[in-house]
Amino acid sequence: MKNLETLHWKGEESGRLVLIDQTRLPGEFVEIECRTVEQVWEAIKTLRVRGAPAIGVAAAYGVCLGLQTVAGADGPALLAQLDEVTAYLAASRPTAVNLFWALDRMKRTAAALAGRASPDRITAALLAEARAIHEEDRQMCRAIGRHGAPLLKGVEGVLTHCNAGGLATADYGTALAVVYTAVEQGQTLHVWADETRPLLQGARLTAWELHERGIDVTLICDSMAAVVMRERRVQAVITGADRIAANGDAANKIGTYGVALLAAAHGIPFYVAAPTSTFDLSIADGEAIPIEQRDPAEITHGFGRQTAPEGIGVYNPAFDVTPARLITAIICERGVIRPVDREQIAAVLGDEP
Ligand code: MRU
């Protein structure tokens, strides 16, 4: 099996970020090296690296790259550059809160040392913080897998939407961690992967990584999920999330809301698997979650072929919000949040900012 490491840092303070270029999958497995913060910004924007947790890890390393240009500068110059670089990276994509969470951690690390430590020490501490974010993400995947696997007892078929697997994280995913763990524990599972229009993360990435890891998977068009449920081929749905509000409303890849409605109509449990870094307790409910609008060409000229009339009006939100009432449980690294409501979330995430 290929080394499916989504991203890694090579070297020390003057190192670089290496990541799998997910836009080239499944046709080509290519790793690219980012040596500048601009390259990391572009990689996030164009989805070479994508998935909420992986975006956070990439951004943390992006900060380290952005500071390399002021190596040798004094403390105030370093901190001014840090402000600039974090603001720049924050403008790459708006919905996944893990991006802002990781950038905040980097800023807090520097703030704690400002005026007390040399610029070199601050730079070293920032690389250590990025590495810690990376390592915690690995641990998080394993913990989500452990907490979620028991929910799949007796399940034969599970449906997922978009890619919340290894490619979206530093290890083996959130939603797919639950699948991988259940299979490691001896369960036989069949995954139904929605292709996930318009950018086909389900077809290009989820189907690919499940296949690479030897898990049974059947790819379906998004429009087939209803019939797959009616035919009783799936007994559970698991997706990831990009931002979860204080009441449990969860933003995830466009189409997730529809899948949740279908699951409710068929009496199938709908689980969201996401780390605590995906919660945004400053937002009361899903109404306030910023939804990324993407280029109309992703719909009219997907993968280079024109499939709609020139100049046609297009609406292309990249995410939608599934209301908490449709979510059976949220699986995070601390355990299973059930029922999904403000009180349960506060009880599990009490100490989060
Ligand atoms: O636009 P993308 O590919 O970044 O969207 C990704 C998703 O919606 C994932 O489901 C989500 O980030 C969770 S990843 C563990």
Q: What is the pLDDT of residues 207-243, one digit of tens each?
A: 999 999 999 999 999 999 999 999 999 999 999 999 9
Tell me, yes or no, if 341 is annotated catalytic: no
Token digits for 206? 């989820």
Domain match, 110 and 57 both: yes
Angle at 253 between CA 297 and CA 46, to 5 degrees: 45
Is 174 part of any domain?
yes
Is 2 part of any domain?
no
pLDDT tens for 320-336 read 999 999 999 999 999 99
In the set 242, 249, 280, 320, the catalytic residue is: 242
CA of 73 to the centre of ligand 1 (A): 37
Ligand 1 pocket mutation, candidates 195, 239, 253, criterion most atoms within 8 A of CB: 253
Helical pair 119-148 and 52-68, crossing angle rounded to 10 deg: 170
The domain containing residue 128 runs over which residues?
7-142
Domain match, 90 and 158 both: no
Domain boundary among the residues 121, 142, 163 is at 142
Token digits for 207? 């189907």
Q: How far is CA 270 from CA 101, 161, 234, in A?
A: 26, 11, 11
Residue 306 contacts by C-beta under 8 Å, 6 or more apart in sequence? 300
Tell me: pLDDT of 4 over 90: no
Token digits for 133? 């974010």
Residues in the ligand 1 pocket, defined by CB under 6 Å? 47, 50-53, 96, 162, 164, 168-169, 173-174, 201, 239-242, 252-253, 318
Token digits for 254? 């466009």
Cα-based torsion angle of the residue sequence 121, 123, 125, 128 in order, rounded to the nearest 10 degrees = -140
Give CA–CA dist 300/346, Å, rounded: 42
285 CB neighbour count, 10 Å cutoff: 15
Tell me: pLDDT of 352 over 60: no
Atom of ligand 1 nearest to the CA of 239: 10
Domain match, 301 and 182 both: yes
Residues in the chain: 353
Domain match, 78 and 222 both: no
* Band of pLDDT at residue 257, cut at 50, 70 and 90: very high
CA of 64 to the centre of ligand 1 (A): 24
Q: How far is CA 103 from CA 86, 129, 174, 179, in A?
A: 6, 10, 21, 30
* Count: domains in the chain: 2
Ligand 1 pocket mutation, candidates 163, 178, 195, 316, criterion most atoms within 8 A of CB: 163
Helix (H, G, I), strand (E, B) or coil at 200: coil
Domain match, 225 and 297 both: yes
User: Which helix H or strand E contains 182, and what residues bound it?
Assistant: helix 175-184
Q: What is the CATH number of the domain that holds 183?
A: 3.40.50.10470
CA of 9 to the centre of ligand 1 (A): 22
Is 70 part of any domain?
yes
